[in-house]
Structure 1
Protein backbone atom coordinates (compact mmCIF):
# COMPACT_ATOMS: atom_id res chain seq x y z
CA UNK A 1 0.00 0.00 0.00
CA UNK A 2 1.32 3.45 -0.88
CA UNK A 3 1.44 6.32 1.55
CA UNK A 4 -0.77 9.31 0.84
CA UNK A 5 1.19 12.30 -0.37
CA UNK A 6 -1.34 14.68 1.20
CA UNK A 7 -1.29 16.04 4.72
CA UNK A 8 -4.63 16.35 6.48
CA UNK A 9 -4.78 18.43 9.66
CA UNK A 10 -7.90 18.80 11.78
CA UNK A 11 -8.19 21.54 14.36
CA UNK A 12 -11.70 21.76 15.77
CA UNK A 13 -14.03 22.83 12.97
CA UNK A 14 -11.14 23.48 10.55
CA UNK A 15 -9.66 20.92 8.18
CA UNK A 16 -6.54 21.66 6.15
CA UNK A 17 -5.45 19.56 3.17
CA UNK A 18 -1.96 20.35 1.92
CA UNK A 19 0.79 18.98 -0.24
CA UNK A 20 3.48 19.98 2.24
CA UNK A 21 3.49 19.35 5.99
CA UNK A 22 3.71 23.09 6.66
CA UNK A 23 0.82 24.63 4.78
CA UNK A 24 1.42 28.17 3.56
CA UNK A 25 -0.77 30.51 1.51
CA UNK A 26 1.27 32.69 -0.85
CA UNK A 27 -1.83 32.99 -3.03
CA UNK A 28 -5.44 32.28 -2.10
CA UNK A 29 -9.09 32.86 -2.81
CA UNK A 30 -12.19 32.08 -0.74
CA UNK A 31 -15.81 31.07 -1.01
CA UNK A 32 -18.64 29.69 1.08
CA UNK A 33 -20.60 26.49 0.53
CA UNK A 34 -23.52 24.83 2.27
CA UNK A 35 -22.51 22.48 5.07
CA UNK A 36 -21.20 19.06 4.07
CA UNK A 37 -18.21 16.78 4.43
CA UNK A 38 -15.12 18.92 4.86
CA UNK A 39 -12.61 16.37 3.60
CA UNK A 40 -14.67 15.57 0.51
CA UNK A 41 -14.95 19.28 -0.33
CA UNK A 42 -11.24 19.87 0.30
CA UNK A 43 -10.23 16.98 -1.95
CA UNK A 44 -12.50 18.06 -4.79
CA UNK A 45 -11.43 21.72 -4.58
CA UNK A 46 -7.77 20.70 -4.48
CA UNK A 47 -8.21 18.49 -7.52
CA UNK A 48 -9.90 21.20 -9.60
CA UNK A 49 -7.46 23.88 -8.46
CA UNK A 50 -4.53 21.63 -9.41
CA UNK A 51 -5.98 21.03 -12.85
CA UNK A 52 -6.32 24.78 -13.40
CA UNK A 53 -2.80 25.57 -12.14
CA UNK A 54 -0.79 22.49 -13.05
CA UNK A 55 1.58 24.51 -15.25
CA UNK A 56 2.49 26.83 -12.35
CA UNK A 57 6.02 25.78 -11.38
CA UNK A 58 6.70 25.28 -7.69
CA UNK A 59 3.02 25.26 -6.70
CA UNK A 60 2.03 23.29 -3.58
CA UNK A 61 -1.77 23.33 -3.12
CA UNK A 62 -3.50 24.01 0.20
CA UNK A 63 -7.23 23.94 0.93
CA UNK A 64 -8.72 24.91 4.27
CA UNK A 65 -12.37 24.17 5.05
CA UNK A 66 -13.87 25.63 8.21
CA UNK A 67 -17.39 24.81 9.40
CA UNK A 68 -19.12 27.77 11.08
CA UNK A 69 -22.82 28.28 11.60
CA UNK A 70 -23.86 25.56 9.15
CA UNK A 71 -21.66 26.98 6.37
CA UNK A 72 -18.34 25.80 4.99
CA UNK A 73 -15.77 28.58 4.56
CA UNK A 74 -13.31 27.39 1.92
CA UNK A 75 -9.91 28.96 1.31
CA UNK A 76 -7.94 27.53 -1.60
CA UNK A 77 -4.48 28.41 -2.82
CA UNK A 78 -1.07 27.44 -1.68
CA UNK A 79 2.63 27.97 -1.68
CA UNK A 80 4.49 29.11 -4.77
CA UNK A 81 8.26 28.84 -4.94
CA UNK A 82 9.53 31.55 -7.24
CA UNK A 83 8.12 34.71 -8.79
CA UNK A 84 4.45 34.70 -9.70
CA UNK A 85 1.82 37.18 -10.85
CA UNK A 86 -0.28 36.84 -7.68
CA UNK A 87 -3.31 38.68 -9.04
CA UNK A 88 -3.46 36.36 -12.06
CA UNK A 89 -3.13 33.20 -9.96
CA UNK A 90 -5.68 34.40 -7.39
CA UNK A 91 -8.13 35.20 -10.19
CA UNK A 92 -7.65 31.70 -11.61
CA UNK A 93 -8.32 30.14 -8.20
CA UNK A 94 -11.38 32.35 -7.67
CA UNK A 95 -12.64 31.26 -11.10
CA UNK A 96 -12.41 27.63 -9.98
CA UNK A 97 -14.22 28.39 -6.72
CA UNK A 98 -16.99 30.34 -8.45
CA UNK A 99 -17.70 27.80 -11.22
CA UNK A 100 -21.32 26.58 -10.72
CA UNK A 101 -20.72 23.15 -12.30
CA UNK A 102 -17.75 22.44 -10.06
CA UNK A 103 -19.59 23.70 -6.97
CA UNK A 104 -22.52 21.36 -7.68
CA UNK A 105 -20.12 18.40 -7.99
CA UNK A 106 -18.33 19.35 -4.77
CA UNK A 107 -21.64 19.45 -2.92
CA UNK A 108 -22.64 16.04 -4.26
CA UNK A 109 -19.35 14.60 -2.97
CA UNK A 110 -19.62 16.52 0.30
CA UNK A 111 -23.00 15.03 1.05
CA UNK A 112 -21.69 11.53 0.32
CA UNK A 113 -18.64 12.00 2.53
CA UNK A 114 -20.28 13.92 5.38
CA UNK A 115 -20.02 11.13 7.93
CA UNK A 116 -16.28 10.73 7.23
CA UNK A 117 -15.35 14.33 7.89
Structure 2
Protein backbone atom coordinates (compact mmCIF):
# COMPACT_ATOMS: atom_id res chain seq x y z
CA UNK A 1 0.00 0.00 0.00
CA UNK A 2 1.26 3.49 -0.79
CA UNK A 3 0.49 6.30 1.61
CA UNK A 4 1.79 9.87 1.43
CA UNK A 5 4.53 8.83 -0.98
CA UNK A 6 5.66 5.96 1.26
CA UNK A 7 5.07 2.28 0.67
CA UNK A 8 4.04 0.14 3.61
CA UNK A 9 3.60 -3.58 3.84
CA UNK A 10 2.60 -5.69 6.81
CA UNK A 11 2.58 -9.47 6.83
CA UNK A 12 3.26 -12.21 9.37
CA UNK A 13 4.45 -9.84 12.11
CA UNK A 14 6.77 -7.90 9.81
CA UNK A 15 6.16 -4.25 8.89
CA UNK A 16 8.11 -2.52 6.10
CA UNK A 17 8.25 1.20 5.34
CA UNK A 18 10.04 2.26 2.16
CA UNK A 19 10.18 5.20 -0.20
CA UNK A 20 10.55 2.96 -3.27
CA UNK A 21 9.10 -0.48 -3.90
CA UNK A 22 10.38 -3.12 -3.79
CA UNK A 23 12.50 -2.26 -0.76
CA UNK A 24 16.23 -2.84 -1.15
CA UNK A 25 18.84 -2.90 1.59
CA UNK A 26 22.08 -1.90 -0.13
CA UNK A 27 23.24 -0.84 3.33
CA UNK A 28 21.65 -1.73 6.68
CA UNK A 29 22.10 -2.29 10.39
CA UNK A 30 20.01 -4.30 12.85
CA UNK A 31 19.03 -3.67 16.47
CA UNK A 32 16.59 -5.12 19.00
CA UNK A 33 13.90 -3.08 20.75
CA UNK A 34 11.28 -3.76 23.42
CA UNK A 35 7.70 -4.36 22.23
CA UNK A 36 6.49 -1.38 20.20
CA UNK A 37 3.95 -0.36 17.59
CA UNK A 38 5.73 -1.25 14.37
CA UNK A 39 4.32 1.51 12.17
CA UNK A 40 5.13 4.27 14.65
CA UNK A 41 8.60 2.95 15.38
CA UNK A 42 9.38 2.58 11.67
CA UNK A 43 8.20 6.12 10.95
CA UNK A 44 10.28 7.63 13.76
CA UNK A 45 13.41 5.74 12.73
CA UNK A 46 12.87 6.61 9.08
CA UNK A 47 12.69 10.33 9.90
CA UNK A 48 15.98 10.31 11.80
CA UNK A 49 17.61 8.04 9.23
CA UNK A 50 16.68 10.51 6.49
CA UNK A 51 17.95 13.47 8.54
CA UNK A 52 21.29 11.73 8.99
CA UNK A 53 21.73 10.60 5.37
CA UNK A 54 19.84 13.11 3.25
CA UNK A 55 23.13 14.43 1.89
CA UNK A 56 23.93 10.99 0.45
CA UNK A 57 23.03 11.18 -3.21
CA UNK A 58 20.55 8.49 -4.24
CA UNK A 59 19.72 7.38 -0.70
CA UNK A 60 16.22 6.00 -0.19
CA UNK A 61 15.41 4.88 3.38
CA UNK A 62 13.89 1.51 4.26
CA UNK A 63 12.88 0.35 7.74
CA UNK A 64 11.72 -3.17 8.58
CA UNK A 65 10.25 -4.01 12.00
CA UNK A 66 9.78 -7.71 12.80
CA UNK A 67 7.98 -8.94 15.91
CA UNK A 68 9.71 -11.46 18.17
CA UNK A 69 8.75 -13.08 21.47
CA UNK A 70 10.76 -10.48 23.41
CA UNK A 71 10.05 -7.33 21.38
CA UNK A 72 10.95 -6.30 17.85
CA UNK A 73 13.98 -6.46 15.60
CA UNK A 74 14.59 -3.40 13.44
CA UNK A 75 16.56 -3.47 10.21
CA UNK A 76 17.18 0.06 8.98
CA UNK A 77 19.07 1.31 5.99
CA UNK A 78 18.11 1.63 2.42
CA UNK A 79 18.74 1.78 -1.24
CA UNK A 80 21.77 3.60 -2.61
CA UNK A 81 22.55 4.47 -6.18
CA UNK A 82 26.27 4.34 -6.59
CA UNK A 83 28.87 3.17 -4.12
CA UNK A 84 28.35 3.00 -0.37
CA UNK A 85 30.68 5.38 1.48
CA UNK A 86 32.89 3.65 4.08
CA UNK A 87 31.41 3.62 7.56
CA UNK A 88 27.78 4.04 6.46
CA UNK A 89 26.63 0.81 8.12
CA UNK A 90 28.36 1.82 11.35
CA UNK A 91 26.67 5.23 11.29
CA UNK A 92 23.27 3.54 10.90
CA UNK A 93 24.09 1.18 13.79
CA UNK A 94 25.15 4.17 15.93
CA UNK A 95 21.81 5.83 15.21
CA UNK A 96 19.85 2.68 16.11
CA UNK A 97 21.84 2.27 19.34
CA UNK A 98 21.73 5.95 20.38
CA UNK A 99 20.12 6.09 23.86
CA UNK A 100 18.58 9.53 23.20
CA UNK A 101 17.01 8.46 19.91
CA UNK A 102 15.78 5.15 21.30
CA UNK A 103 14.13 6.87 24.26
CA UNK A 104 12.32 9.33 21.96
CA UNK A 105 11.26 6.61 19.54
CA UNK A 106 9.88 4.45 22.34
CA UNK A 107 7.87 7.33 23.81
CA UNK A 108 6.09 7.57 20.47
CA UNK A 109 5.96 3.87 19.61
CA UNK A 110 5.84 2.08 22.94
CA UNK A 111 2.93 -0.29 23.44
CA UNK A 112 1.52 1.96 26.13
CA UNK A 113 1.79 5.05 23.89
The 5-angstrom pairing of residues 19-98 of structure 1 reads: 19-85=19-85, 87-98=86-97
Label 1:68 to 1:112 Cα distance change in 2 as closer, same or farther (>3 A): closer
Residue 113 of structure 1 deviates from its aligned partner by 8.0
Q: In 1, Cα distance between the equivalents of 2:112 and 2:42?
A: 11
Decide whether the 8 Å contact of 2:29 with 2:75 is kept in 1: yes
Runs of 4+ in 1 over 6 A off after TM superposition: none
Name the count of aligned residue pairs. Answer: 111
Gap runs ≥5 in structure 2: none
Q: In the TM superposition, what whole-angstrom CA distance separates every residue of 1:28-83 from its partner, at most 9, and x where no partner exists?
A: 00100000100000000111111111100000100000011031100000100012
Residue 111 of structure 1 deviates from its aligned partner by 2.2
Residue in 2 aligned with 1:104?
103
Please give the TM-score of this superposition, normalised by the length of structure 2.
0.92
Decide whether the 8 Å contact of 2:19 with 2:60 is kept in 1: yes
Decide whether the 8 Å contact of 2:27 with 2:84 is kept in 1: no
Q: In 2, Cα distance between the equivalents of 1:80 and 1:66?
A: 23
Structure 1 SS opposite 2:22:
coil
Structure 2 SS opposite 1:23:
coil
Q: Which has the higher helix share?
A: 1
